[in-house]
A and B are shown apart, each in its own frame.
Chain A
Amino acid sequence: MLSIRILYTILLLLALVPRSSAQESSGNRVSVPFSNPTRPRLVKVSVINGGIQVKGYSGNEVVVEGRSEDDASSSEPPSKKAAGMKRLGNSAPKFTVEEAENVVTVSVRPSDRTVNLFLQVPTTTSLKLHSVDGEVKVEQVTGELEINCVDGNVNLANVAGTVVAHSVDGDITANLLGVALDKPMSFSSVDGDLDVTFPSDLKANVRIKSDDGEVYTDFEIQLKPEAGKPQVEDSRPQGGSYRIQVDKEIHGAINGGGSQIQFTSVDGNIYIRKAGK
């Protein structure tokens, strides 16, 4: 089927930016509508060198803003000959925003410069975010959130729906206001901590695996018999926390069971929190 394809390409080769304006000096903003606002929306963002920040808002378009961290250390120092002159050229971030069949794809052209992307999306939008070096932050978005980081931290504040998140070395912090029924979730990290807050009425089957880290929760978890012999240490009456220690993996149900949620960490700790405390 032929679909209307909108291609917004931002190529600002001649942005005049004074060197003195330091970090995140050059900003570009572009907004893209979805071809069918009533259908499910997806925004995909991929950045190698830089962070991604996404915030839900009441509008219907995706607003993308790119800011490059334009510090002196990243590029060669201006020569004496250039004293008193402005630099012409590509100090503005180059990114591409493309929309096809309700999927908005934002990608940054590889360069040695750090480019941070700031997005505003309709509150109900699914996200697929990928960053290598930078941090990923999402605020007030409901949908299927798929996040993959290598070095950066992941921070999801006041989101709802489904989260599938991974960071190799960064921490994953998430605060979920609502959980989609019957959709599996997964949080994983090698070196980072997983710190996830769920609504207190969460119904879930959890699989928790932390090899060298500890697992903490204030939820009551009904452990499945096959879970081995976990040591449960309940110091809540003394104002402490509920701590479970296992050799391998914990399988259990929270509030009678429901969506499948998996937590995997190699060296980090896992915190599963109940909201409203």
Chain B
Amino acid sequence: MNCEQVKPQFADYLVRNLSEEANIEVQRHLTVCDPCRNELQILESTWTRLGTLPEQKPSPTMRARFYAALEAYQDQLQSTQAATKRRVTLTDWLDGWWPKRQAVQLATALLLFVVGLGMGRWLPPKDRSTEEMAHLRDELRDMRQLVTLSLLQQQSASERLKGVNWSYQIAQPDDRVVTALLETLNSDPNVNVRLGAVDALQQLAGHAGVRASLVQSLPRQESPIVQVALIDLLVELKEGRSAEVLRKLVHDNRLHKAVRARAETGLKQIS
């Protein structure tokens, strides 16, 4: 027997599953082949150490995490497939990862098993998976908020627009995001980004203080298109406090005619 023939037998050898003759053949090879003996020793020590581990049952948390991870993985897989249009099936993909040598296959399987057990021990057990899901949702929300906040600070107008668009994905944005969007509306150097902020703030009109801030923002705006968008929004919200500001706009000769016309019709609609 040579090394290639012996190695596949290691697993069976360790659990004493080989026939008498095969067992002798393996032993004979081991006496003459140092590399195989080393490999077997490593496997054997892993095997014995595995035996000393207490049996673990996956907690409900593990289950929730597993399905969440699986879902995220599937989403990611779908999106990458769509993006690159590569026709790789799941099985092909997995096949590519599967080691061709049996000893490596076994070692991989054992390694994954050990890692899995280790994770099971290491992860803090929790009773209810719903709690965990809520926690995950919070984390996701925090992450999206951070993304939004950091994008709104970027140099490029397109990146800041991306930040404005991200804010739509936050379920219930906190004050930081609302403040950042108001800041964008009032002082972003780019007209189109300010315009985008008007739309984003429309979604947050229920948030405390947003309506008042929108009213205050209108006289500070210099770009006609942002002024028009803000007037439209305030009229749609039927914001009574904006009447005074609108009246001033109607009589401001320096303003663009479209803005004055819009303020005039808006004034009629809210009063």
Also in contact, A186 and B196, with CB within 8 A (given A260-B165, A266-B258): yes
Closest residue on chain B to residue A184 by CB atoms: B161
Q: Is A267 an interface residue (CB 8 A)?
A: yes
Q: Are A168 and B157 in contact (CB under 8 A)?
A: no
The 8 A CB mask of B233-271 against A (1 = contact, 0 = none) is: 000000000000000000000001010001000000000
Q: Is A71 an interface residue (CB 8 A)?
A: no
Are B224 and A146 within 8 A (Cβ)? Answer: no
Nearest CB of B to A13, in Å: 33
Q: Are A165 and B225 in contact (CB under 8 A)?
A: no
| B229 closest partner in A (C-beta) | A264
| Consensus secondary structure, chain A interface | strand
A190 with B258: in contact, given A166-B225, A168-B223 (CB under 8 Å)?
Answer: yes
Decide if A184 touches B191 in the complex (CB within 8 Å): no
* B156 contacts across to A, CB distance below 8 A: 126, 144, 146
Task: Kindly state whether residue A148 has any CB partner on chain B within 8 Å.
Answer: yes
CB distance from A136 to the nearest CB of B (A): 14
Please indicate the chain A residues that have their CB under 8 angstroms from the CB of B59 in the complex.
none
**Distance from A183 Cβ to chain B, minimum over Cβ atoms (Å):** 5
Q: How many A-B residue pairs have CB under 8 A?
A: 75
Interface of B is mostly: helix
Roughly how many angstroms separate A186 CA and B262 CA in the complex, as a whole number? Answer: 22
Q: Which residues of A are found within 8 Å of B193, using beta-carbon distances?
A: 164, 186
* Interface presence of A162 (CB below 8 A): yes
From B158, B225, B256, A144 is in contact (CB under 8 Å) with: B158
B-side interface residues toward A, CB under 8 Å? Answer: 156-159, 161-162, 165, 190-193, 195-196, 199, 223-225, 228-229, 232, 256, 258, 262
Distance between Cα atoms of A189 and B228 in the complex (Å) = 11
Please, could you name 25 A-B residue pairs with CB atoms under 8 Å apart, sorted by A? A144-B156, A144-B157, A162-B158, A164-B161, A164-B190, A168-B225, A182-B162, A183-B159, A183-B162, A184-B162, A184-B165, A186-B192, A187-B192, A188-B191, A189-B225, A190-B224, A190-B228, A207-B199, A211-B232, A260-B162, A262-B192, A264-B195, A266-B228, A266-B258, A266-B262
For A260, the chain B residues whose CB sits under 8 A away are 161-162, 165
Q: Nearest-CB distance from A249 to chain B (Å)?
A: 9
The answer to whether B158 and A184 touch across the interface, beta carbons within 8 angstroms, is: yes
- Is A186 a contact of B224 with CB atoms below 8 Å? no
Binding site for B on A (CB under 8 A): 126, 144, 146, 148, 162, 164-166, 168, 180, 182-191, 207, 211, 260, 262, 264, 266-267
Q: Flag if B158 contacts A185 (CB, 8 Å).
A: yes
Query: A190-B256, A267-B258 in contact; A164/B225 too (CB < 8 A)?
Result: no
Q: Does the CB pair A166–B224 fall under 8 Å?
A: no
Determine how close the nearest CB of chain B comes to the CB of A198; give it in whole angstroms.
16
Which residue of chain B lies nearest to A146 when distances are taken between CB atoms in the complex? Answer: B157
- Are B192 and A164 neighbours in the complex by a CB distance under 8 Å? yes
**Cβ–Cβ < 8 Å partners of A148 in chain B:** 190-191
Q: In the complex the two chains form, is A166's CB within 8 Å of B228's CB?
A: no
Q: What chain A residues lie within 8 Å of B158 (beta carbons)? A: 144, 146, 162, 164, 180, 183-185
Q: Collect the chain B residues with CB atoms within 8 Å of residue A207's CB.
A: 199
- B195 CB, nearest partner CB in chain A, Å: 6
Please name 4 further chain A to chain B contacts, defined as beta carbons within 8 Å, in addition to the given A186-B161, A188-B191, sorted by A numbering: A148-B191, A184-B165, A266-B224, A266-B228
Q: Given A168-B224, A266-B258, A188–B195 Cβ distance below 8 Å?
A: yes
| Whole-angstrom CA separation of A186 from B165 in the bound complex | 12
Q: Which chain A residue shows the least CB distance to B159? A: A183
Cα A186 to Cα B199 with chains together (Å): 13
B225–A264 touching, CB < 8 Å = yes
Which of B192, B229, B232 has the most C-beta atoms of chain A within 10 angstroms of its own C-beta?
B192
In the A-B complex, the 7 residue pairs with the smallest Cβ-Cβ separation, listed nearest first, are A186-B192, A184-B161, A166-B191, A164-B157, A162-B158, A183-B158, A146-B157
Q: Least Cβ distance of B169 to chain A in Å?
A: 12
Chain A min CB distance to B267 (Å): 17
User: Complex: how many Å from CA A184 to CA B161?
Assistant: 6
Chain A residues contacting B195 (CB-CB under 8 Å) are 186, 188, 262, 264
Q: A144-B157, A264-B229 are in contact. Are A165 and B224 (CB under 8 A)?
A: no
Please indicate the chain B residues that have their CB under 8 angstroms from the CB of A180 in the complex.
158
Q: How far does the Cβ of B151 sit from chain A's closest Cβ, in whole Å?
A: 10
A38 CA / B146 CA spacing, docked (Å): 30
Residues of A within 8 A of B165 (CB): 184, 260
